[in-house]
Each structure stands twice: as structure tokens, then as C-alpha cells.
Structure 1
Amino acid sequence: MLGYLGAIPTALAYALFFSSLMAVRATTVSVVMMLEPVAALFLGVTLLGERMTLATAAGSAVLLCAVLLSAERERER
């Protein structure tokens, strides 16, 4: 089970990452990849009952704004 959890989700993540590099620019993909900490924060707060501090909320807001601005620029091109 541990081997499966290490191999299959990792392989899926890399396959999706490299296929997305073919569809959008590398800059956009790298910014979108920064959503991983935001997702981890969301899961930690909702599922594990962790507290969200002002710093984590501000950092998440900055990352989300960066992704939205990058997506908007991508649509304009």
C-alpha cells in the first residue's frame, strides 16, 4: 500500500504537470503550482482543525491573486 501511495499519485501528478506544460506557458504553470500550499492550508483548516493565522491568510491571498492575474494575462494572449 505504501508503494502504491508513493508511486501512483506521484506519477499522476508528474503526468498532469508535464501535460499542462504543453497546453499553457511554463510561467503560468509555475504560478499555478504555487497553489499547493493554499490547498494544504485549506485541507488543514477544514479537515484537521488547524488555526489559520493572519500571515497564512495573507500569503494565501497573495498566491491566489497571482494565479488569477496570470490566468487573466494568459486569456488576453
Structure 2
Amino acid sequence: MKPFLPKKYEHIAFGFMLSGMMSCLVSGFATLIAIGLTGEFPLHWLKAWIPSWMLAFPVVLVVAPFVRRVLSTIVIRD
């Protein structure tokens, strides 16, 4: 597939994908623990995932630069 997103939007796309995947996994795991693997699981998971992603996406965009700065002070560079 040919790239179509300008480089300047890479951090936003990264945050979007990372927050989507992480919120999906975490909300799925929490839902599984809370209600078990029942027939209602997919609907409950989706109801938990969408608002979680809506919160996680802006949080990732705000927190990621801070994490990069912290890591730049503790990681040895070659």
C-alpha cells in the first residue's frame, strides 16, 4: 500500500492507533473479568471500549511528549 499521510501527522496517527489497540485490549480484559465470557460479552465490551478510546486518545497525545522527555534523560544513547 502506498503511504498517503503526511509525516507531520504521524504522531497523531500513532496516538490514534496505540490508544485504540490498548483501550480495546484493556477494556476487553476488564469486561471479561467483570462479567465472564457470556453471550452479552461483545456488546458490553463495545460499550466499554468506545468511551475508553475517546478518553485514551487525547491522553496519549498529551502524555507521549512527557514520556519521551523522561526517557531521553534515562536512556543511554550510542
The TM tier, using the shorter chain, reads 0.3 to 0.5
When normalised by structure 2's length, the TM-score is 0.35
When normalised by structure 1's length, the TM-score is 0.35
Q: Which gives a bigger RCO, structure 1 or 2 (Cα 8 Å, sep 6+)?
A: 2
* Larger helix fraction of residues: 1
